[in-house]
Amino acid sequence: VPAKDALETVVTFGDHHYPYFAGSGDAAWAALKRELAKLDSDRFVLISEESLPSTLLAAVSRNVAEVGPVVNLVFPGGEMAKNVANLSRLAAATLNAGATRRSCILAVGGGMVGNIAGLLAALLFRGIRLVQIPTTLLAQSDSVLSLKQAVNSEVGKNHLGTFYAPEFVWGNVDFLEQLPVVERQAAMCEVIKNVVAIRPGDHAEVTTLLSPTGEYTAAQYVRIIELAIEQKTAVMKDDALEEGVGLVLEYGHTVGHAIEATLKGKLTHGLAVGIGMTAAAEVASQMGVGDDSVAEMVLDLLERLGAPTTIPREADPGAVMERIRLDNKRGYLKPSPGSRDMILLAAPGRALWTGNKPLTSVPEEVIRAAIDARRSTNVTPLYDARAGQLHSRKAYLGSSLALQLES
Ligand SMILES: NC(=O)c1ccc[n+]([C@@H]2O[C@H](COP(=O)([O-])OP(=O)(O)OC[C@H]3O[C@@H](n4cnc5c(N)ncnc54)[C@H](O)[C@@H]3O)[C@@H](O)[C@H]2O)c1
């Protein structure tokens, strides 16, 4: 595949279609201004959060101002800030700034900003136009490739939300230069998940893209985004609401979320999902329903990325099991006592189905045995050995994980 540092495509999820522009340098900024001008908006309400690099925010604001009036709204960063109180404050500030039905919301930030600004756009006047300007690799390659918009409730993650599509997405890969390595690696774990669960044909190419140092060229980032679009579209073109075949996007998440929550912010979501995939492959193998090639592919890709592949010893297996009982896939299948529903693969790209859901009811003893099998035997946990690199973002994540992890 020839390297290119720009991408212009249309994302199709069911009846929803939206353009995605990814690129770098002056050409990317020119594309943003051209597309914003087409919207003929009376004002642009630029929503972002405090922990974004200020130079990034200033550059976006300056360029948007060349197209039309800009209102800048900045709210506190961190997962805990993705709540109803901030949604309400942002709504008031947007209205007080004179927003009308002709205005556009511009969501500038990671998946957190994208979600709260996306929900605000869906609710304001029952829906005003939204432009997604994702600034993390996870947001560029994953969260903007979804119609899901939500904030957290007092009880758990992403409980209050709806489905809403942007007018377009503009992903500037130059923004990723300032992104911590751990954030890049976490996003790559989700791409690995898409390869294993959806498109094993991408294995060879993704192998060449993975970088253990987290360094990627602009052209590589653009290709990563393009692959993620193709992978997610493969399952979401006919399942825009992610309730049927789209559930395979949750591969690795049952055990992954539980490890993430148990470690209270010491491991990012993406890395936890990576480990969760090794556990899901182990479950399938113990049940005699999964081919060894699944575990082989998961381990090969995670090791090439330099991501952890075993459950850190600090994650108490009993506590992980408790967390699994809160998993967000509850309710799709009729509950069966003593069992939990997981996405299992018979082979790479081939999920096992129960009725019309790619879910399998797994006895808790099997999950527990798989967790024990995947636990690190090292006294020094893998992620500690890589301190500074794999340690997570900010202290706030610790408190946010007191929330039930649901997505
Ligand atoms: N809608 C969906 O389907 C979907 C999918 C995946 C994730 N999500 C949501 O996305 C959120 C996670 O997204 P995220 O990982 O982008 O987290 P985030 O938005 O919290 O960003 C992570 C950190 O990176 C910083 N940051 C952002 N851009 C930066 C840049 N260019 N350089 C340096 N630092 C930068 C942020 O300030 C923040 O501190 C969660 O709320 C999750 O629920 C939603």
pTM above 0.95, yes or no: no
Q: What is the mean pLDDT of the chain?
A: 92
pLDDT score for 2: 63
State pLDDT tens for residues 103-137: 999 999 999 999 999 999 999 999 999 999 999 99
| Dmax (CA) of the chain | 61
Catalytic residue among 148, 237, 264, 357: 148
Considering only residues 384 and 301, tell me which one the structure prediction assigns the higher pLDDT.
301
Q: What is the DSSP letter of 346?
A: E
* Residue 4 or residue 7, greater confidence: 7
The C-alpha atoms of residue 17 and residue 31 are separated, in whole angstroms, by: 18
Name the β-bridge partners of 106: 46, 131
- 230 in active site: no
pLDDT band of residue 396 (cuts 50, 70, 90) is very low
Kindly state the tokens that stand for 380: 């020094």
* Distance from C-alpha of 188 to C-alpha of 1, rounded to nearest angstrom: 19
* Residue 406 scores a pLDDT above 70: no
Q: Please indicate whether residue 250 is annotated as part of the active site.
A: yes
284 has a pLDDT exceeding 60 = yes
Provide the pairing of β-strand 104-109 with 129-134: parallel
Read off the pLDDT of residues 146-163 as tens digits, 9 standing for 90 and up.
999 999 999 888 999 999
Between the CA of 84 and the centroid of ligand 1 the distance, in Å, is 18
In percent, the amount of the chain with pLDDT more than 90 equals 86
pLDDT single digits (tens) 309-355: 999 999 999 999 999 998 877 889 999 999 999 999 999 999 999 99
pLDDT in tens, 212-259: 999 999 999 999 999 999 999 999 999 999 999 999 999 999 999 999
**What's the pLDDT band for 378 if we cut at 50, 70, 90?**
low
* Residue with CA at minimum distance from ligand 1 atom 20: 112
The predicted structure's pLDDT at residue 1:
56
- Token pair 């491991």: residue: 267
Measuring CA to CA, which residue among 89, 61, 62 is closest to residue 75? 89
pLDDT tens-digit series, residues 181-197? 999 999 999 999 999 99
From CA 11, how far away is CA 103, in angstroms rounded?
Answer: 23
Question: Does position 165 have pLDDT exceeding 80, yes or no?
Answer: yes
Residues 6+ apart with CB under 8 A from 249: 193, 194, 197, 198, 232, 235, 242
From 96, 128, 153, 47, select the one nearest 400 (Cα to Cα): 153
Tell me the CA–centroid distance for residue 187 and ligand 1, in Å: 10
